[in-house]
Structure 1
Amino acid sequence: MKLTDPAQTLAALLRCPSVTPAEGGALTTLAAMLGELGLSNDRVTFSDTGTPDVDNLYSRLGSDGPHLMFAGHTDVVPVGDADAWTQDPFAAQIADGEMYGRGAVDMKGGIACFVSALARLIERKGAPEGSVSLLITGDEEGPSINGTEKLLAYAKAKGEHWDAALVGEPTNPDQMGDMIKIGRRGSLSGTLRVDGVQGHVAYPHLADNPLRGMLTLADALMDPPLDAGNERFPPSNLEITSLDTGNGATNVIPAHASARFNIRFNDLWTAESLAGELRGRLEQASRADRLRPGRDPVRYAIEFDSRSSPSFLTRDSALITTLSAAIAEATGRTPKLSTTGGTSDARFIKDYCPVVEFGLVGKTMHMVDERVALNDLESLTEIYEIFLERWFASAGAR
């Protein structure tokens, strides 16, 4: 295998069926590649009650100097209906200039490009004057309990320290060079339960339909909007993702109703302040009687998930400027600096060092026929190589 060719490195990774939480040979394959480049490899498995064991990989080149981390994951989501794919999802087949496979975009492609960029730099100039590490998990698409968060703590306990990090998630909406992620919104999930009184639909005065109360409370959660956003982040957004009564009959008023929701919030909020805002809205709305005239206040309970994610914003101008310049040189585009999208493992890394995200075009991630243009693989490899060289040059000068 020619490690300087991102198509070859990606093909080797795609042929490993590493559907969360299975390692599928992906970390073994990656470790072999990195070993050829002179990196030392540390494989570690983490466990936790109620979650599957997960294999992880930490690899490092160099022992001192400025230290750059590349972070990512080799686990992928399930393929879904395999018969709906036009190409084998684990065969790395090429058609019309695109390589097909689950994980081609999210995010084995980013890992492959970084490996090839590092290989090209080493071949052209030798190892960087500093240290490069790869922190790769098999748990990003899963519960994210036995992956990056624990691997960071494990590495730090062994004396590792990083000056900056690059996460290779697919960040570009339409074409290479569109967007760098310099932060992420926070995430908070919860469950709202409303209690009523079961009864016959023909005798509603003898019952108390919890859905009437649920509609009132759900409306209060979503309106008015939580905020209008700011120059750093888009508006915070609450979405109700499920509504259930456990009732299969059309002539029975249910006894209970529950709703699940998730909020992606900006830096105007913390999980605690947001929970307080929602509790206040619910308490006030519970006394509204438009849908329940003459009734006592709605009986409800709200519970927030214990694992929330805070919002964050990276302010390391040298890191952002160096990556932006590399993108501009390789593509001729000036990337937008964005905090949009969902959460990523950058939310764990930001506690250890400044972190940005940049990878492939994300149009087909998680879809049937996930695929990446071979031209984009080459473009991202070029960007990463320029970035590596310039980051170490600037870090050494600081």
Structure 2
Amino acid sequence: MHPHPSESETLLRQLLEKPSVTPEDAGCQPIIAEQLKNAGFTIKNLSFERVDNLWATHGQGAPLIVFAGHTDVVPAGDLKHWHTPPFTPSEQNGLLYARGAADMKSGVACMTSALIDLVTRHPNHTGTLALLLTSDEEGLAIDGTQAVLNHLSAEGIKIDYAIVGEPTSNHTLGDSARNGRRGSLQLHLTVEGQGGHVAYPEHITNPNYGISALVERLSRIRWDNGNINFPPTSFQVSTLQGGDGTENVVPNTAFFKANWRFNNEHSADSLKHLATAIIEETLTPLNLRAHYQWRLSAEPFYTQNPILLQALSQAIAKHTQQRVQFNTAGGTSDARFFAKHGAETIEFGVSNATIHQANENVRIADLVPLSQIYASTIEQIWQHHQSI
């Protein structure tokens, strides 16, 4: 450890010691709540089912600016691939290793430090500052941020800006941020035919042929060309199953799981309509039937708000001398829920190079500038609203 670790690093090390695998918070949020309470924040603990959520506020009125993140992490996986225990933070060559170091307890720690710094220097600041944390981001994400935002909306609370501390940087802190995300549509498709002995094909309608034809056809479709803000929609098959391994038996059903990551050239309904037409057109001549289970994880969103984008860009340039590139890459995050509720939303944080991997790590030297970027972004937004 450094002789004088920053407040962000000290808090981060405390959080990394907590085995907060989804949906467990494992005591992370109480640590953060105590620090924010001591700084004058009002604390609300909102629990839905097994999920812990923290809502902390300071000030009043508009604009309501929210920092958001999650204290839960994915499982550590096979421990033999870790060179240090995943829930014992370890420093090597300027990197801090632990599960959640990048995704995203570093962001949580730096947001917390930034908030304390802001209210210390600006006790009578413009509008309201808030922090929303959940322990259900890496899981189903039903009882976490989504549930809290529904609760707040029912109370008439409107969020103006949301900054989600997900790891977005690529090679250097500040080189990349997200101002949108693609949508995610999942299909579990069962193809039903007539199974039987392979020696009697006249009695068989083979569902494996249908699944094979579908995968081949769907994988070759160009769903759209994307646009200036989004790449083309992509289709991927994650699971493919037909039969139980018996060599001479054709199964009655075959199954696949597939996912579309789609841009704003499509809606979930338009993709469903197009895919269903292709599936039925493919299976009907083979005398096979399709059974659909659709699940929409996220609609695409895109933030163009110049106040928020310029505030973050200027803060990054000030503290890292980087010219940030905004993009819509990556998977889904809780940012989608803020955007759905009408908040101008961006994501920014440390490097994402090791997230969900063994030996996940964060560069210690990035923690102080990240906190400074978060604080400066808020100050830029305040300046804009004060000049109106």
Question: Which TM-score bucket, shorter chain as reference?
Answer: over 0.9
Q: In the TM superposition, what is the alpha-carbon distance from 1:302 to its structure 2 partner?
A: 4.0
| Residue of structure 1 in register with 2:34 after alignment | 32
2:279 to 279, 282, 285: 282
1:378 to 368, 371, 376: 368
Point out 4+ residue stretches in structure 1 off by more than 6 angstroms. none
- In structure 2, stretches of 5+ residues that fail to align are none
Q: In the TM superposition, what is the alpha-carbon distance from 1:67 to its structure 2 partner?
A: 1.7
Is the Cα–Cα contact under 8 Å of residues 69 and 132 in structure 1 kept in the other structure?
A: yes
| Residue of structure 2 in register with 1:6 after alignment | 8
SS at structure 2 position matched to 1:286: helix
- In structure 1, stretches of 5+ residues that fail to align are 48-52, 288-295
SS at structure 1 position matched to 2:169: coil
- C-alpha distance in 1, partners of 2:122/2:191? 65
Give the aligned residue type for 1:299: L
| Residue of structure 2 in register with 1:128 after alignment | 125
Indicate yes or no: 2:42 matched with 1:45. no
1:360 to 350, 368, 384: 350
SS at structure 1 position matched to 2:376: helix
- C-alpha distance in 2, partners of 1:64/1:284? 56
| Residue of structure 2 in register with 1:319 after alignment | 308
Q: In the TM superposition, what is the alpha-carbon distance from 1:136 to its structure 2 partner?
A: 0.7
Q: Percent identity?
A: 38
Indicate yes or no: 2:333 matched with 1:336. no
Is the Cα–Cα contact under 8 Å of residues 181 and 358 in structure 1 kept in the other structure?
A: yes
Give the aligned residue type for 1:172: S
- C-alpha distance in 2, partners of 1:127/1:93? 39
Correspondence 1:57-68 to 2 at 5 A: 57-68=54-65
Q: In the TM superposition, what is the alpha-carbon distance from 1:4 to its structure 2 partner?
A: 5.8
Q: In the TM superposition, what is the alpha-carbon distance from 1:127 to its structure 2 partner?
A: 5.4
Indicate yes or no: 2:264 matched with 1:267. yes
- C-alpha distance in 2, partners of 1:273/1:325? 38
- C-alpha distance in 1, partners of 2:211/2:21? 37
Give the aligned residue type for 2:269: E
SS at structure 2 position matched to 1:392: helix
Output the TM-score relative to the length of structure 2.
Answer: 0.94
How large is the Cα RMSD of the aligned pairs?
A: 1.8
2:77 to 51, 74, 80: 80
Q: Flag the 1:302–1:266 CA change in 2: closer, same or farther, 3 A.
A: farther
Provide Cα deviations, 1:119-169, integer angstroms capped at 9, x if missing partner. 333444545332110011110011111000110121233342222110001
Provide Cα deviations, 1:274-300, integer angstroms capped at 9, x if missing partner. 10000111222235xxxxxxxx53412
1:305 to 294, 301, 307: 294
- C-alpha distance in 2, partners of 1:260/1:160? 38
| Residue of structure 1 in register with 2:153 after alignment | 156
SS at structure 1 position matched to 2:103: coil
Correspondence 1:236-275 to 2 at 5 A: 236-275=233-272
SS at structure 2 position matched to 1:172: coil
